Amino acid sequence: MPALPELRTYAPADFSAVLGLIANAFGGESQDSVRFAVSASNTTTFVAESAGAGVVGVAMAIAFGRTAWLGNVVVSPAWRRRGLGHALTERALQQALGEADTVLLLALGDAQRIYERIGFVADGLYGTWTYPDPPAAAAEPARPAGQTTAAAAAEPAPPADGGGEAVGDRALAELCLPLDRAATGEDRRAYLEYFMPVMRIAYTEGGGDRGRVAAGYSARLPWGTGAVIADDPRVAAGLVGDLLRAFPQTRLEFPDANEAGCRVAADLGLARVKENLRMRFGPPVVGFRPQCVYKALTPAVG
């Protein structure tokens, strides 16, 4: 049996091979989505290179402060069942544990056994929901009541007291990041900064002198990567419905523990088509509230 391929850090010349591996494994990922994944400032990508076959494996470690994710762990079919997936996972895990207390991933099928042998444990299921027969996209997608675009600094939605402020970096820091941390228990700013131009914030009336309160956000990049986070199922239904009217091919991945999310998806006509096991290495993430996650950022980073 030939020796395992060399494990090394990704180089730009590896892009075509990495794209092919990920697209074949996960159902046709676009060039843009893979380029986004390998270029993010908080991501370290490793490849396995065979002297005769080139790049035959890939794995990514994505840092979010005290948490990290392993994603896009793929081995070429010809090299499976030789320990290469195990080796790639351990290399990415070693990188992730440089700063993180807990490392997370979403695992499909047989890969779960690899992660269990390394020390990962089950941490809940994520379902994938999609339209059985997607409708056409709306020409002018409706915006849920009380929503504004985080990047639209020229037209901020004023608070109920009549004041107003520009939205952009400040909205990300003061509104979206707290919502995201309160749902995930993680600091995902390094990824959310990419989404700022396409983020929308939903508000509810705070009561008393609180004016309007940020109650949820949605974000989507053109190739489908994105998130929906909300405290209130009614807010989430508006955000998800608006997203799907604009982009009906979008798949929703979110925790099964979010029972309201399952009802929202079913009410919108989506079907649960597969599941991923969320797994963790290390202690549970303090502050993770799965009932607030209505769409994962990506299948690679939850």
How do residues 174-217 score in pLDDT, each as one tens digit? 888 999 999 999 999 989 888 888 888 888 876 555 567 889 99
pLDDT at residue number 162: 23
Domain termination residue (choose one: 82, 100, 118): 100
- Among 70, 15, 18, 25, which residue's Cα sits nearest to residue 44? 70
Question: In this model, does residue 274 exceed pLDDT 70?
Answer: yes
Per-residue pLDDT tens for 126-163?
A: 999 999 987 777 644 433 333 333 333 222 232 222 22
- Among 228, 227, 231, 199, which residue's Cα sits nearest to residue 215? 231
Q: Tell me how far apart the alpha carbons of residues 89 and 294 are, in angstroms, rounded to a whole number.
A: 28
Same domain for 165 and 72: no
pLDDT at residue number 174: 84
Q: Can you give the residue range of the structural domain that contains 56? A: 6-100
pLDDT at residue number 122: 97
Residue type, 157: A
Domain termination residue (choose one: 63, 84, 100): 100
Beta bridge partners of 254: 127
Q: Give the pLDDT mean for 260-267.
A: 97
CATH of the domain at 27: 3.40.630.30
Per-residue pLDDT tens for 54-76?
A: 999 999 999 999 999 999 999 99
Residue type, 41: S
Same domain for 263 and 153: yes
Same domain for 194 and 268: yes
pLDDT at residue number 194: 85
pLDDT at residue number 131: 95
Residue 221 lies in a domain: yes
Average pLDDT value over all residues in the chain = 85
Residue 1 lies in a domain: no
Same domain for 243 and 167: yes
Question: In this model, does residue 19 exceed pLDDT 90?
Answer: yes
Q: What is the pTM of this model?
A: 0.86
Per-residue pLDDT tens for 75-129?
A: 999 888 888 999 999 999 999 999 899 999 999 888 899 899 999 999 999 999 9
Residue 131 lies in a domain: no
How many distinct structural domains can be found in the chain? 2
Is the CB of residue 270 less than 8 Å from the CB of residue 245? no
